[in-house]
Amino acid sequence: MSSLRNSVARAIALDESGDYEKAIESYVQCIDIIMNEMKNEKDNKKKDDMRKKIESFIKRAEHLKLELKKSTISDDMFPAVPNDELVATSPSEFKSEVNHTPSSNDLLSKEEIAVLMETSLINGVKYVPFMDIDLKEKFVGNGKFKDPDGLLKLALKQKERLKGWKRVSEISPKPVIIDKIDCKSVKQTVVSDCSFVASLSITSEYENKFKKQLITKILYPQKNGIPIYNPYGKYMVQLYINGIKRKVIIDDLLPVGENGKLLCSMSKNSNEFWISLIEKAYMKVMGGYDFPGSSSNIDMYALTGWIPERSPLKTTDPDNPVDNELVFNKLFHRYHQGHCLITVSTGKLSKEEQERTGLVELHAYAVLDLREIDGTKLLKLKNPWTHFEWKGNYSDTDTEHWTPRLMKALDYDPKSSQNNDDGIFWIDYKSLIHFFDVFYINWDPNIFPFKGVIHDSWSAGTGPVKDLYTVSQNPQYTLDVFPEYETTSIWILLSRHITEISDFEDNKEYITVIVYEGGNKIYLPFDVKPIHNGARINSPHYLGQLLIKGKGPKKYTLVVAQYEKSKTILYSLRVFSTAKIKLKKIISQYKFNEKLNGMWSSNESENKSSFLIVLDDSSDKNNLVFEIKAPKQYHASIYLRLVSLKRPTHNSFETASCDKYRNGYNVLELKDVPSGTFKIEAKTYTENQNGPFFLSIQSSCKFRTKPA
C-alpha cells in the first residue's frame, strides 16, 4: 500500500506542476499496482473500490493526453522547451479567459461602475475604462497633437540636464515605433524606474521566445495588430490600472538633453520609440517622471494584467524557512511553459559589496532565462541600465566555474562577452540567494480557466479602526467552488485602487484577505480558525493562494481586512480557479436594526444594562443578531431570556447567551426565535464594573425596544 500511496502522491504532484507526460506515466504505474493487488484480493467490496480507483486514474490520464494533444497545436506560438541540458517540460495550452473582465459596462453592477468611475481620476487626470469603441480612436487632426494635460513633471536629474522637449520626428529622421522587439535594446537612463524598465525587458523577451504579442499590443495606433508611427504625434496606451484596463492618451513630446539625447528610457536603436512612449504613458498615470519607484510585479501588472506575486528569497522567521529548491523548480518549469514573467531585486548592499560584486543595491533585474545543467542552477539576468554586471561565480570574468560543456549548453562564451558590457550576465542560484532579496513574479491569468471579480469599497467610518476583536463590518464575500478533481488551485487577488501619487509613495494601508470555510458571515475573527490568514501588507496588491482537496461543492467566506483603517478604500477582488466558481458579496439579510447606548453603573439610576425587546410578528421563526461593543478591558457577554410569548408555540425557546465572555466585543446570533417579549442583559465577567457600551440589534422582523 505504501508504494501505491507514493505513486499516487507523485502522480498528483506532477499533474499539478504541469508535467503531464510524466504524470500520465505515474497514473499508469498506479493502475498497474492496483491490478496486481486485485489478483490477491478476495473481498468483493474492496475489489469494487479498487476498480473505481482504476477508472478515476484512467479518466485523468485520458484527460491529460487530450491536453497534450491540444498543446501540440500551439507549437508555433509556444516552441518546445530545449531538451539539451534541461529537464523536459512541455508548453501547456493557453485557454481563453472565462468570466473575463467585461469590455463594456453591461456586466457590471451600478455599485461597481461607481467604484471604477470614482477611481478614474488619478493625480488629477481622468483615465476612463478602455472600451471596444476605443479601438476606433481618431489619431489624425489639424496639425500635431498636443496633450491637453500638459507636459509631465520631470525628475531632478532630468531638470538638471533638460534642453527642451522634442517630438519623435525631430529626434529621428526615420522614426519607427517598433523595428525589432529585443530585450537587449531596452535601456534605462536618468528616471528612477528600474522595475518598470526591467518589466519592458522581460515582456519583450517573452514575445521573442513565445512568438506571442504581450507588450506591443497595448500601444496604438496599429496596423495589422502592430503599433505604427503616427505623424500627428498622438498615441494611446492600454494599462491595467485601478481594477480594469484604462485608456491613456499621450503626445510624442519627449525630454531631451545635450545633443538631443533622450532623458527617458529608450531603445538602443535611435529610430525606435515604443519604449519611450509606453514609459511616458505609465509615468503620466504615476504623476510624472519624478516617479518614487515601485516593484516590478506592480509595474508588470499595469502593463499586462498578469497576476502579481512576491516570493522572498530569505526570511527572518525560523518557523517558516524559504524552500529555495522548491521556488526554483516551480519557476523553472513554469517559465519555460510561458506561464510567468520574473524579475529579481537586490536588498541593501554596502559600497564595498557593490564594487566587489558589480551589483546595484535596491535594484530590479530582469530574469531572461533559467537553466539547470549537471545539477547547477543558473539564471540569466539583465541590469536595466544596460551596463554594470555581476563579477562573481559564472560571470564573464570567472575563470574557475565555466566548463566547455557548460558553455556549449548555454551557447555562451565568457571571453567574448567581456567585450560587450550590455548588463546581461549569468549567475548561479546560490549566489543569487545570497545577494538578492526577492523574486517578483507575474503569472498568466489564462492558466486559470475560471475567474470572478467584484469591484467594491470600504468606508472609513464602517467598523473599528482595528479588526482585532470583530470583522462583522468588514466586507465579506461567499465563494462557491465546484471541484471536479481531487485538488483545486484557488488564487485570490485583492487590488487597492490608488488615485494619488502621495498614496503610492507613502502607502499606509495594510490590506489582506482572510479565508474561512462555510460561506457564512463571520463576526469573530478567531472563533473559527481561518484556513488562510494572510499577512497585512502595504502594497497595492495582496495575493493569497489556496490548494483545496477533495471533489464536490464547497463554500468559503472571504473577508477583506486591514491593519489600521484610516480612510475609505476602493478595491477589486479577483478570484482565479482551476474549478468552476461563483463569487458574490455577503449582504445582510436583516431588514430591521437598532443601536442602543448602554451603561454599566453601580448607581441604579444610571445603570442601563437591561432592555426589553418585543418581536411582534406573525412568524415564530425569526432570526436575530445582538452585538455588544465596549472598552477592551471589559469582558462582556449578552443574555436573552423569554418573558412572554405572543401566542402558544411548539418552539421551546427560553434562554440564550454568548458561549463565553470576550474582551471588547461579543455577538449572539439566533435562529428560529418565536414572537414575544424578551429581556436582554449586557453583563461583564467582573462584577461592579462601570462604563459605557453599545448594543446593536439586527432582526428579520419588526421589533420594539424599551428599558427593562
Residues 573-603 pLDDT 10s: 999 999 999 999 999 889 999 999 999 998 8
Res 88: pLDDT: 31
**pLDDT averaged over every residue in the chain:** 88
Range from 13-17, 199-203, 654-658 carrying the lowest mean pLDDT: 13-17
Res 463: pLDDT: 66
| Residue 696 predicted with pLDDT over 90 | yes
Residue from 661, 611, 663, 616 nearest 637 by CA: 661
Residue from 375, 366, 150, 372 nearest 253 by CA: 150
Res 507: pLDDT: 67
Q: How far apart are alpha carbons 136 and 130 in whole angstroms?
A: 11
Residues 349-365 pLDDT 10s: 999 999 999 999 999 99
**What does the block give as the cell for 367?**
530574469
Res 80: pLDDT: 31
| Residue 101 predicted with pLDDT over 90 | no
Range from 105-109, 335-339, 395-399, 624-628 carrying the lowest mean pLDDT: 105-109
Three-class secondary structure assignment of 553-622: CEEEEEEEEECCCCCCEEEEEEEEECCEEEEEECCCCCCEEEEEEEEECCCCCCCECEEEEEECCCCCCE
Q: How far apart are alpha carbons 697 and 32 in whole angstroms?
A: 62
Residues 544-564 pLDDT 10s: 999 999 999 999 999 999 877
Residues 285-312 pLDDT 10s: 999 998 877 888 999 999 999 999 999 9
| Residue 656 predicted with pLDDT over 70 | yes
Which amino acid would we find at residue 416?
A: S
85 vs 187, higher pLDDT: 187
- Taking a C-beta distance cutoff of 8 angstroms, is the pair 466, 563 a contact? yes
Res 104: pLDDT: 34
Please tell me whether residue 161 adopts helix, strand or coil conformation: helix
pTM confidence score: 0.81
Q: Which helix (H) or strand (E) holds 113?
A: helix 110-118
Q: How far apart are alpha carbons 332 and 82 in whole angstroms?
A: 12
Annotated catalytic residues are: 194, 363, 383
**% of the chain surpassing 70 pLDDT:** 93
What band does 67 get if pLDDT is binned at 50, 70 and 90? low
Residue from 309, 298, 297, 307 nearest 241 by CA: 298
Q: Where are the alpha helices (DSSP H) in 192-341?
A: 194-210, 274-285, 296-304, 324-336
Q: How far apart are alpha carbons 576 and 101 in whole angstroms?
A: 12
Domains, the chain: 2-73 (1.20.58.80), 115-294 (no CATH), 307-443 (3.90.70.10), 449-585 (2.60.120.380), 592-707 (2.60.120.380)
297 burial type by CB count under 10 A (0-12 exposed, 13-18 middle, 19+ buried): buried
Q: Residue 535 half-sphere exposure, CB side, CA atoms within 13 Å?
A: 4
Which residues are CB-neighbours of 512 under 8 A, at least 6 positions away?
494, 533, 534, 535, 536, 537, 542, 544, 560, 561, 562
As beta bridge partners, residue 574 has: 453, 493
Q: What is the DSSP string of 15-60?
A: HHHT-HHHHHHHHHHHHHHHHHHHHH---HHHHHHHHHHHHHHHHH
Residues 21-40 pLDDT 10s: 788 888 888 887 887 788 78
Total residues found in the chain within this entry: 708
Q: Are strands 125-126 and 655-657 parallel, antiparallel or unpaired?
A: unpaired
